[in-house]
Amino acid sequence: MRCRCGRRAVFHSKVYKVTLCDECYPNFYVEIVGRSVKRYKILRRSERILACVSGGKDSCAMAYALKRLEYKFELFHIDLGIGRYSRECLRSVEELSEFLDVNLNVVRLEDYGFTIEDVDRRKVCSACGTAKRYLMNVFARLNGFDVVATAHTCEDIINFFIKNMLSGNVEYISKLKPRIDSFDKLVAKSKPLFDRTEKENATLVLTLNLPFTSIECPHAPHDVWKEIIYDVELRKKGFKQNFVRSIAKLANFIRLDWNLGHCKICGEVSNSEVCSFCKLRLRYGKG
């Protein structure tokens, strides 16, 4: 297959009805990210953005798009202390920072007294999520960033949506908006890639040879819902992006009515006396 410019194609999409080569694809990618960011009012030109990068392909693609779209941002990485995996991730984000010429901020979970390797096997993923959300928010607020950006893809969002629908946590769906404005000590959160697919992100980083790591976290669970979402897309082209845009609309109608207070240890926003992050520090911390 050939691109509209005549070169050999690397990307074909029935959803967008395009066939593109490695030179035309990055421009197309940046354009569709920019369009969604504008349409869903995900970021503002005046804001200082903290772009959270894991070292993987999705956040690498997000950082590239933010750079090309000329947003004001810095990179932020949390070293989770997961052996070789974390070392590889750190190496990739350092290369990315150099490649994009954007400042990189690194926080080590170890400096809070524990690492993900200290957590009970069964609780690793939820502890990791708690630590990431907490550190992203605190770092952003204390360093004067207006909004945190994460590279959640449409597959991540549909996955979260299905799991919460099945367990009856309907109110959690309000968290799936492409942007949540700031509240109390919580900095605004944004998902500039909420309607991008993993394939679109992968095609970008591979065609440009951007620095990213493809090694998987050794604690990543086998996720059957992700496979189901891919299967549906194979049978119904456009399912993922149409579905995620409807989730974004639906999320506006749902209110998360939590009785939010402040953690009596760290003072951050919490729905219990001691926040989940301080509970982790109390349980696994080494002083």
Nearer to ligand FES, 80 or 180 (CB): 80
60 is in the binding site of which of ligand FES, Zn ion, ligand AMP, none (Cβ under 5 to 8 A by kind)? none
Least spacing, CB of residue 187 vs ligand AMP, in Å = 14
Q: For residues 67 and 132, which CB has a smaller minimum distance to Zn ion in the complex?
A: 132
Tell the smallest beta-carbon distance from residue 182 to ligand FES (Å). Answer: 25
The distance of closest approach from Cβ of residue 264 to Zn ion in the complex, given in angstroms and rounded to an integer, is: 8
| Structure tokens belonging to residue 60 | 């690498």
Task: Give me the least distance between CB of 194 and ligand AMP, in Å please.
Answer: 11
Residue 78 contact among ligand AMP, Zn ion, ligand FES, none, beta carbon within 5 to 8 Å by kind: ligand AMP
Shortest reach from residue 267's CB to Zn ion, in Å: 7
List all residues 6 or more positions away from 217 whose beta carbon is below 8 Å from its beta carbon: 82, 85
151 binds, among Zn ion, ligand AMP, ligand FES, none (CB under 5 to 8 A by kind): ligand AMP
Binding site for ligand FES (CB under 6 A): 80, 116, 124-125, 128, 217, 219-220
Q: Which does 124 bind (CB under 5 to 8 A by kind): ligand AMP, ligand FES, Zn ion, none?
A: ligand FES
Kindly report the CA angle at 27 between 7 and 232, in degrees rounded to 5?
85
Positions in the binding site for Zn ion (CB under 5 A): 263, 265-266, 275, 278
Residue 49 partner contact from ligand AMP, ligand FES, Zn ion, none using kind-dependent CB cut-offs of 5 to 8 Å: none
Least distance between ligand AMP and beta carbon 125 (Å): 9
- In terms of phi and psi (left: phi > 0; alpha: psi -120 to 50; beta: otherwise), the region of 238 is left
Tell whether the torsion through CA atoms of 248, 65, 132 and 85 is positive or negative. positive
On whether the CB atoms of residues 154 and 119 are closer than 8 A, the answer is: no
Identify what 116 binds: ligand FES, ligand AMP, Zn ion, none; CB under 5 to 8 Å per kind.
ligand FES
DSSP 255-285: ------EE-TTT--EESSSS-HHHHHHHHH-
User: Nearest to residue 63, comparing CAs of 270, 230, 212?
Assistant: 212
**Residues 6+ positions from 3 with CB-CB distance below 8 Å:** 9, 19, 20, 21, 23, 24
Nearest CB to Zn ion, comparing residues 167 and 259:
259
Only one residue has tokens 């790591």, namely 213
CA atoms within 13 A on the CB side of 108: 10
Q: How many CA within 13 A on the CB side of residue 185?
A: 18
Minimum CB separation from Zn ion for residue 265, in Å? 5
Binding stretches for ligand AMP (CB under 6 A): 52-54, 58-59, 76-78, 80, 132, 150-152, 156
